[in-house]
Structure 1
């Protein structure tokens, strides 16, 4: 905001599409960038200065008030330690305080003088507002995962993997991971986790954990890899199924028929319902079909022809499809304080699966679909929104080959979306609001 109370115009326009391409394979090149260099600055998370700032730059920043510019707001470079659930309150209070005291940094034109020495953030937000489908907490988490210093590395307590513990204010007390300052690092091959996060938010499902791509010294050859926000509120999981609910395919199909908890209906004991609301399965099925995530509802690959590198083939699970009702569902996760709703983890999707080998078993038993997601698929704006959203993650964008590579991934999802809409019409499935 300018010193005279007027809004500063955005200095970058998000990617838009002039017209819908007639052929998905005819990919346009990236727009030629302007000569004027634009800086995006990180949101600090407890560290005094971003990684890579020299001693001279630190002294200069101290002399100039240790300020940084992010999302059109002037913020103090040192953020007091605060638990994760208090970050939003702290952000709002800090915005108000800075709004009262930043006039000395405003030039004659009314624009804020940005310090050019600050390190550029890997989350690119150049205008006043981020895309509407990303919440303020989403942006905070993305900047934390992408830009914060790494304080230590430790083994993940309930999943196979490695946790990055991010640096906090020295006066902070309590476990860092319980306060939201940890990220689960995954393999470079799991980069579709980042795409899944953005697709989830655009569809209005809000079931995945924030995820960004980051280059790390802990990965061989410095390849970028996905970092997923660690959520200590997730319910403990069974070691064999990695689920907080024990459920096999046969019992899952039965509870779909009972529509557990829909319209406030309390299920009877003989129905075999879990605490999970009926609508959650519809959201999961839609999401998994678009990305062809099979490790939740079809971990034995019974609904499609897998490749030799798929985990179900390597583990010999494909041979167990004769008795499908006994196959366990995996990665069915809830939060301890919210057992009615699911959290989507391990969202490894596959973009190289052809349209004649899609896993339709994921949709079996689903008679209703979420209205918010279907409206996005029908709006012809899925491509535009994905481009705008994925552009924020600089490392992911570049690792996929820029706009040309991102467009190819979107081509795949758009074709699957058309197939899904055809499936819904052919089977007479209902489209309902699912915002309970």
Structure 2
């Protein structure tokens, strides 16, 4: 403290000195007239009052400064402790002294309520049971509809059909990211927000059993006629289907079906499940038991570049209806996500874990005869047989770079330039964050941005491995427009 500053304890001595001075002035003024005496006395009293008030105010300020200085000294020794200022504000924990004898205190500003942004306020979730309304007006049809719904509920264990009161697809700007088409956005909104009227377990020709939900816009029980109004419900463990959809669009492949995350209160203990848009025109590329596509015929098709530049395949080439470039697009996609079920269902190209399907089913022991290994989930549309549809896109993010499945890249001599340019652009992370943010339920289910960043880290590391493989093996990067 400054030694010249008047302390509160000296106020009494100062008043005594002023009293003595006042008496001396009075003795000197005995010869003056009465009016002059009164003026002098009034002036002395005014000075006395002004000085007294000033001393009291100064001493009070010095006491407050001394108290704050003492508290700050204690706080600097234990920075984790906080205290309340006399004004009621909480002192900030981050003190940044610029000199050894000066401490700056920053008070936390009061938090203001955020502005209400349209489309971001969540109403409370309400569980509603959706009643299936019969199409006809007769009592017989109504009875049949109730009987069918109860049968499905009893068979699959559903006690209710889910319907959300708010959209989990958030698009705050005027336009969605450019890699999404208008049909993609419409499909995402339908899958996330569409009202569900019925859930069935179906087995379309060429596919295993699927859980299919139907919306209120569907007026048929036929799965083949359920176009743009039905969705496939996957297991909560298959949530990577949603990530795969966004990655496919960013890479410019456009071969996956739209997928979002949706919560079913009566399925999977209320956990979010991936739902995929159902397309009744899907069909396995080779659906005849005697003509199943295996690894040997697949490698032969890569060698002869089936359907490339308008060439008509010869019978001995073992070609399918799929264009040569489609396999290159599939390989980029499957390698980044390490999807092995399509091209390497027996896990011959990497060391599987005991919980992998190939080990549980005993397929891993059948890797000796590689050419006879069957390819699975190779799907196209019946009206568009030359293009693949990436179906069953369960990816694996827990496989490190030392155990990647390079068998997926065997026989590939060309890769799509658009996808490779995205991997080289250093903007893959930015685009994935921007894209995945649209699906709020998926974003939250993965732990927010921190969890999404971890998934992107895995994809970026694999992208570097793939780019190194391209350079090391002289893989050509060529345009592959549809």
What's the TM-score once normalised by structure 1's chain length?
0.72
The runs of at least 4 aligned residues of structure 1 exceeding 4 Å deviation read: 51-54, 172-177, 236-241
For 1:230-245, what aligned pairs fall within 5 Å after superposition? 230-235=278-283
Q: What corresponds to 1:167 in structure 2?
A: 216
1:337 aligned to which of 351, 360, 383: 383
Q: Secondary structure of 1:179's partner? A: coil
- Give the C-alpha shift of residue 160 in structure 1: 1.8
For 1:187-336, what aligned pairs fall within 5 Å after superposition? 187-235=235-283, 246-336=292-382
- Give the C-alpha shift of residue 119 in structure 1: 4.6
CA distance in 2, matches of 1:285, 1:362: 6
- C-alpha distance 33-263 of structure 1, shift in aligned 2 (>3 A): farther
- Give the C-alpha shift of residue 238 in structure 1: 7.2
Q: Secondary structure of 2:293's partner? A: coil
Q: Deviations over 1:65-108 (max 9, x none)?
A: xxxxxxxxxxxxxxxxxxxxxxxxxxxxxxxxxxxxxxxxxxxx
Q: Secondary structure of 2:177's partner? A: coil
Q: What corresponds to 1:397 in structure 2?
A: 443
2:458 aligned to which of 409, 412, 425: 412
Q: Secondary structure of 1:322's partner? A: coil
CA distance in 1, matches of 2:265, 2:244: 24
CA distance in 1, matches of 2:287, 2:388: 18
- The answer to whether 1:430 aligns with 2:479 is no
Structure with more relative contact order (C-alpha pairs < 8 Å, separation 6 or more)? 1
Unaligned runs of 5+ in 2: 1-110, 129-163
- C-alpha distance 240-39 of structure 1, shift in aligned 2 (>3 A): farther
Q: Secondary structure of 1:298's partner? A: coil
Q: Give the count of matched residue pairs.
A: 331
Q: Deviations over 1:21-69 (max 9, x none)?
A: xxxxxxxxxxx9992232339xxxxxxxxx9599xxxxxxxxxxxxxxx
CA distance in 2, matches of 1:53, 1:311: 36
CA distance in 2, matches of 1:304, 1:166: 42
What's the TM-score once normalised by structure 2's chain length?
0.65
CA distance in 2, matches of 1:311, 1:147: 33
Query: Are the aligned partners of 1:53 and 1:119 in contact in 2 as well (CA < 8 Å)?
Result: no
2:393 aligned to which of 347, 354, 373: 347
Q: Secondary structure of 1:284's partner? A: helix
- Give the C-alpha shift of residue 174 in structure 1: 8.0
- Give the C-alpha shift of residue 286 in structure 1: 0.7
- The answer to whether 1:39 aligns with 2:121 is no
- C-alpha distance 236-416 of structure 1, shift in aligned 2 (>3 A): closer
CA distance in 2, matches of 1:174, 1:255: 39
CA distance in 2, matches of 1:270, 1:239: 19
Q: Deviations over 1:228-248 (max 9, x none)?
A: 00000112577899xx97211
1:369 aligned to which of 415, 421, 446: 415
CA distance in 1, matches of 2:463, 2:291: 29
Q: Deviations over 1:155-179 (max 9, x none)?
A: 133232210111128xx57857523
Query: Are the aligned partners of 2:227 and 2:278 in contact in 1 as well (CA < 8 Å)?
Result: no
Higher Rg: 2
Unaligned runs of 5+ in 1: 1-31, 42-50, 55-117
Q: Secondary structure of 1:153's partner? A: strand
CA distance in 1, matches of 2:197, 2:112: 36
2:229 aligned to which of 164, 181, 189: 181
- C-alpha distance 34-281 of structure 1, shift in aligned 2 (>3 A): farther
- C-alpha distance 188-271 of structure 1, shift in aligned 2 (>3 A): same
Q: Deviations over 1:356-414 (max 9, x none)?
A: 00000000000000011001001111000000100000100000000000000000000
More helix by share: 2
- C-alpha distance 306-387 of structure 1, shift in aligned 2 (>3 A): same
Query: Are the aligned partners of 2:339 and 2:393 in contact in 1 as well (CA < 8 Å)?
Result: yes
RMSD in angstroms over aligned alpha carbons?
Answer: 2.7
